[in-house]
Chains A and B, each alone.
Chain A
């Protein structure tokens, strides 16, 4: 049972445009959400997080939006840069120590 889903395996975006990566979850107990970026041959790197008491969190070019009623979160990258090309994982957690990850979306930013 995949509790955290990233339904788009890949996404291509032109440099300078907005990248929107989506994530859906099924467990209403999740109350903390994170996005990670992964380059080949490296471990995932933490990007940005949001708790369920907020609906938006912004850090530079990265913004995460949370829609609790739809059990949906998204990561916006504006403007997209070639160095943003990587696999992006969303993750969800509750008070039970477990961070549950999605299967990832491969973002390619075209120069």
Chain B
């Protein structure tokens, strides 16, 4: 058990809809990362937050947004969903602020999103 909790585990929704994915980081970790894994693809970095502030952005679409709350949990909001958004969405946390050194990411078990 990594200590990172993601809910829900599975989500099935229709095109055009909006969903929210939730992540609770490991106790004591201030950084939260979101990754997307599509079929046969690697883990694509979406966005990182540290203690409530956005720190880095990757290939995140404008239809997607995220935030980290004062209690450090994070939510990833996906709107105007398209079939191609179907993927596994992983949240990870780490203790590090400025950089990853000696502070690997710890992943949750992911949310599988299916858009029909």
A residues 26-69 near B (Cβ < 8 Å) are 32, 34, 36, 41-46, 49, 51
Q: Closest CB-CB distance, B47 to chain A, in whole Å? A: 10
Interface stretch, picked from B11-19, B61-69, B76-84, B102-110, is B102-110
Interface size of B by CB at 8 A reads 31
Q: Closest CB-CB distance, B45 to chain A, in whole Å? A: 5
Q: Quick check: A103 and B98 within 8 Å, CB to CB? A: no
Residues of A within 8 A of B99 (CB): 32, 93-97
Interface size of A by CB at 8 A reads 28
What per-residue 1/0 map shows which CB atoms of A72-88 lie under 8 Å from chain B?
00000000000000000
Q: Quick check: B42 and A43 within 8 Å, CB to CB? A: no
Contact of A89 with B by CB under 8 A: yes
Q: Quick check: A103 and B104 within 8 Å, CB to CB? A: no
Q: A102 with B42: in contact, given A32-B100, A97-B48 (CB under 8 Å)?
A: yes
Q: Closest CB-CB distance, A100 to chain B, in whole Å? A: 7
Q: Quick check: A44 and B43 within 8 Å, CB to CB? A: yes
Contact of B8 with A by CB under 8 A: no
Residues of B within 8 A of A91 (CB): 43, 105
Q: Closest CB-CB distance, A94 to chain B, in whole Å? A: 8
Contact of A43 among B4, B44, B50, B55 (CB under 8 A): B4
Instruction: Name the residue among B41, B99, B106 with the largest chain A CB count within 10 angstroms.
Output: B99
Q: Closest CB-CB distance, B11 to chain A, in whole Å? A: 15
Of chain B, the residue at the smallest CB distance from A43 is B107
The contact sample of 22 A-B pairs, CB cut-off 8 A, is: A4-B42, A32-B99, A32-B100, A36-B107, A43-B4, A43-B90, A43-B92, A45-B2, A45-B107, A46-B106, A49-B102, A51-B101, A91-B105, A94-B99, A95-B99, A97-B50, A97-B55, A97-B56, A98-B45, A98-B56, A101-B45, A103-B42
